[in-house]
Amino acid sequence: MGVLFAWLYLRYGPTLRFLFLAAYTVVFVLVTVTDLERRLILNVVILPAIGLALVGALCGVTPFAGDAPWKAALWNAVLGGLIAYGFFLLAALLGNLIVGRGALGGGDVNLAAFVGLVTGFPLVIESLVLAILAGGAISLLLLVTRIRSLRDPIPYGPFLVIGGWVTMVWGDQIARWLLYR
């Protein structure tokens, strides 16, 4: 985490944005470690993080809002959170119906809402696509190398974290690169 903090500080300097992004990074690392070790994303972590992301949006700390007024930043964050929450809630319900209990849990759904609040709309879509691509690629690698089988659970939280953190830091640049190539 020290390397991530140092990198964020070098990129953003002693700003409010740095403080919020460092706090979001702590949440992302904690969620990743907990999900990998215990296959749990705890509400005691993620619900206060959602509140923190809302405060960050009120302060204008969302990647796409730029210099927009706080109402626009808050709207972008809330819309991003609702889109991610709705998408993963639907995925969890369908997954549990098709695959059985445990396909995606409530922690994954709440984490998606946090990622959506942090990245905001429209970058939440980029974040979810990156998470799905990372999840697919790494899961395929684990299956091909026989480290995991089709019956073994693979925690999804770390993939949401990858998509969220990459989009939180480079989302605007990635979107511009994709749109204007």
Scored b (16 or more CB within 10 A) or e, 152-174 reads eeebbbbbbbbbbbbbbbebeeb
| pLDDT recorded at residue 129 | 95
pTM to 2 decimal places: 0.91
What pLDDT, on the 0 to 100 scale, is given for residue 65? 54
pLDDT band at 66; cut points 50, 70, 90? low
Task: Give the pLDDT band of residue 110 (cuts 50, 70, 90).
Answer: very high
Q: If you ran DSSP here, which 8-state letter would residue 31 be given?
A: H
What local confidence, expressed as pLDDT, does residue 97 receive?
Answer: 86
Tell me what pLDDT residue 45 has. Answer: 95
* Spatial distance between the Cα atoms of 107 and 42, rounded to a whole number of angstroms: 6
